[in-house]
Structure 1
Amino acid sequence: MIAYEDHSLRALAEDGRWPELLAAYRQGRAAAVVQAGEQAAVALTAPLGHLIAYAAPPELAVRLFDADGGEGTVAGVDDHDAGPLWEVLATRHSWLRLAPLLGPAPVRRLVAHTRVLLGEDLSYGAEPDPDGVPLSLEPWEKAGWGEASRVREYLPGGGARSAVLTLPASREGLGEVELPKAAARPGRQRVTRGLAELAALVPWAEVVCVRGPAPQAAAVLARGRRVLGGFLPFALVYPALVQAAAVGRTHGCAHGRMRLWRALGAMAGANVPDRSEVDALVARMRCFTWQEPAAGLHHLHVALEDPASGVAWAVSGSQEL
C-alpha cells in the first residue's frame, strides 16, 4: 500500500513528476477500497493526497476530485490527512486559479468558502451559494479574527498548525456573576429551528433556548449559580463558533462558517441566511460567556441573546482534542 514516506514517491515529488504521483494515488486508493473499504482507503492514501493537494500545480491537484480515474479513485469531501484535502488545496491557490479547474459541486463550494475565509471577495466571481451564505466576509466576521488564523496552516510533508479557539479564552475581563433562575423554554418554530441549527454547529455541546436575557440561558447549563463570567461583542464570539464545527480532521472551517450562517439565519427568523437580517441580529445581539471549573482543552460556554425577540440561546460543552 502506498504512503508518501516511500522513497520512490519522495523522489517523484522532488522531480515534479506529478502525473505519476496522481496515478499512484488513484491506483492505491482504488485497491484499498476493494481490499479494506472506503474508510480504510482514505486513511491509507491521505498522506500522498495531502502532498499532491499542497504542492502539485493546481491543474493537476484538482484532479484528485475528478472521476476520470475510475471507481474508487476519487477523493471526496471527507478525504483527509491533517485536514480535508480540499482545504489543503484551497489554502494554496486563489479562486481565480481554481475556479476554471474545479468540477464537483460539493468540493467547489467548500473551496470557495475557504477562499472567502482567507480574505477573497467572491461576490461577483463565483456562482451564488445554494443556501444564501454570502461569498464575502461581513465586517463583524473580520473584526475579531486575523486572516492568518482563520484556516489551518498546512505543512508540505503533512500536518497542520491551528490555534485552539475557546470561550472564554481566559479569565481576562470576567468577574463574579450570580446567575438568575432559569427561565421558561419557548417552543415556537423559530426557536426550534435555531436550536436544531446550533446543535448541528456544535454537536459535542448542549444547546438550550429560553425566554429571557443571556444569563438566564446560561443558568440552564452552568454547573452553579455563581460563575466567573461577562459580556463580550459577537465579533469575539464568532471565531470560536466557526471553529467549533471544524474540530476534527474531516471538517474544515468552511463547514463552520456555512453552518453558523444557517444558525444565525434561523435565529433571525429567516428561511435562508438573509444577509441584512443576520447583520441586524448580530448588531443587536448580547453575548455572555462564563467559565466552568472542569473544561476540556476545547470548550465553549456562551449565551446569545436577541433583545428584539426576548429570546436567548446557550451553548455549553467541552472536549479533549
Structure 2
Amino acid sequence: MKRDLDHFLEIGDLDGLIRLIDELCEDESWSDLEDVAIRSRQANERGQQLWPAGDHAEHRLALESPGEFAARAVNRDAQTFGLAPLTEVAASSHTWEELSLDLNSGPLRSLVIHERVFRGEDLTEVEIAEDPLGLPLVLAGWEQSVEPPDIKKYEVDDPSPSINNLDSFPLPKPGVVAHDSGTEALRNLVQTWTSQSNGRSAAVRVYGDATTAISSLGVNEVKAKEVSISEMWGHLVWAASSGGAYGRRPGCAKGRFEAWWCAVALAGLDQEEVWPPLTLELEEALTEMNWWIWDDGSLSKGWSLRIAVEDPVDGLSWALTAEDTRE
C-alpha cells in the first residue's frame, strides 16, 4: 500500500487515490486509510490539489471504521469540503459509547453528542464541559418522528419531507407587515441556503390568521394544509440541517438547534433568560399554535420551505417562503 500511496501522491493521481481508498475500506485497513487521509492533506499543502482524496478518506473513516478511528477523524476536523460534517457522519454509524473514549473534549465532542441525541440516544447522564448548543440531551415527544438522513459513501440521502394533499384556500388582503425575533428565527432556518448558495427567503409577521400572513408575502393563490407540530418539526429540522444547492451541510445537531430556537421565538419564550426553556413549557406553547405548510404553485425542483404559524391567543401569524436552486 505504501508504494502505491507514494506513487499516487508523487504524480498527483487523484483517481488512483480514490481507488486506493475503496480498496482499503474493503480490506478494513483503517490505519492505512488514516495515512491516506493525512498524507493527502499534506500534499495539498505543498500545492498538489489532492484535498478531495483527503476529504473522502476522512469521510470513510468517520462512516465505516471502528470508533477509535472514526473519533480521530472527527478530532482532526480536516475536511476542506465534505458531504456532511464529520461529527454527523461518525454519529450516524456509531453509538456514543463507541466514540466517547477517543473524542477530544471541546465543541466537536459536544456536537457528536447532540448528533447521537438526534438519532434517538438518551444521553441525559452525559456531562458536557463545553456545549455550543445547550439543547436537552433527549428528544422531546414532538421530535421523535423525524427521520435522520442516510449518510452513504458518496452521498447524503436526505429528501425533503412530503407536502402532499394540500387544499386550495382563498387569501384575504395583506396585513400590516412587521418583523420580530420570530421572523428572524424563521429565516435563520435557511441561512445556509441564503448565505452560501443561491437561496432567497422572506418572512413576515402580521395580526390575523395564517392566510393573512401568506398573502402578505405577495402570494395570490395558495394551497395549504394544517399539520401537527411533530410533522412540522420534520420540515424545520430538514431545512436547517441542509446545505441547499451549494452550501456546506450544517448537520442535524445544528439543524435541531435552529428548529428549537425558531420554536422558542415563535412561542414568545425567547425573552426569558433560561436556555433552553423547560421542554414541557415549550411543548404546551407549541401545541396551542396552529402550523401550516403551503404552496403557491412555484415550487422549484431544488430546495424549498413554505410554512405559516398562527398564535390564536395573541392573534398573530408568521409566514416564511424560502427556496434554493442549482444553476
Aligned length: 295
Q: Which runs of 5+ in 1 are unaligned?
A: 67-73
How big is the shift at 1:42? 5.3
Query: For the residues of structure 2 that align with 1:104 and 1:159, how far apart are their CA atoms?
Result: 29
Q: Which runs of 5+ in 2 are unaligned?
A: 1-11, 192-198
TM-score normalised by length of structure 2: 0.80
The one of 273, 276, 279 equivalent to 1:273 is 276
How big is the shift at 1:186? 4.1
Q: Which residue of 1 aligns with 2:238?
A: 243
Indicate conservation of the 8 Å contact 1:33/1:41, yes or no.
no
Deviation string for 1:96-134 (max 9, x for gaps)?
A: 222222115232222222211211111223428554321
For structure 1, which segment, 45-54 or 11-20, has the greater mean C-alpha deviation from structure 2 after superposition?
Answer: 11-20
Secondary structure of 1:245's partner?
helix
How big is the shift at 1:243? 0.7
Q: Which residue of 2 aligns with 1:119?
A: 120
How big is the shift at 1:259? 0.9
Deviation string for 1:142-161 (max 9, x for gaps)?
A: 24x3xxxx222122x42232
Query: For the residues of structure 2 that align with 1:97 and 1:108, how far apart are their CA atoms?
Result: 13
Indicate conservation of the 8 Å contact 2:107/2:132, yes or no.
no
The one of 47, 67, 71 equivalent to 2:56 is 47
Q: Which residue of 2 aligns with 1:288?
A: 292
Query: For the residues of structure 2 that align with 1:254 and 1:269, how far apart are their CA atoms?
Result: 21
Query: For the residues of structure 2 that align with 1:45 and 1:55, how far apart are their CA atoms?
Result: 15
Query: For the residues of structure 2 that align with 1:31 and 1:194, how far apart are their CA atoms?
Result: 47
Q: Which amino acid aligns with 1:256?
A: G
Q: Which residue of 1 aligns with 2:141?
A: 139
The one of 308, 312, 315 equivalent to 1:310 is 315
Query: For the residues of structure 2 that align with 1:280 and 1:3, how far apart are their CA atoms?
Result: 55
Q: Percent identity?
A: 27
Instruction: Quickly say closer, same or farther: Cα 1:34–1:214, change in 2 above 3 A.
Output: farther
Q: Which amino acid aligns with 1:238?
A: W
Q: Which amino acid aligns with 1:55?
A: E
Secondary structure of 1:179's partner?
coil
Q: Which residue of 2 aligns with 1:107?
A: 108
How big is the shift at 1:256? 1.1
Q: Which residue of 1 aligns with 2:171?
A: 179
Instruction: Quickly say closer, same or farther: Cα 1:305–1:132, change in 2 above 3 A.
Output: farther
Query: For the residues of structure 1 that align with 2:257 and 2:150, how far apart are their CA atoms?
Result: 20
Secondary structure of 1:35's partner?
coil
Aligned-CA RMSD value = 2.5
Query: For the residues of structure 2 that align with 1:4 and 1:207, how far apart are their CA atoms?
Result: 48
Q: Which residue of 1 aligns with 2:27?
A: 15
Indicate conservation of the 8 Å contact 1:265/1:277, yes or no.
no
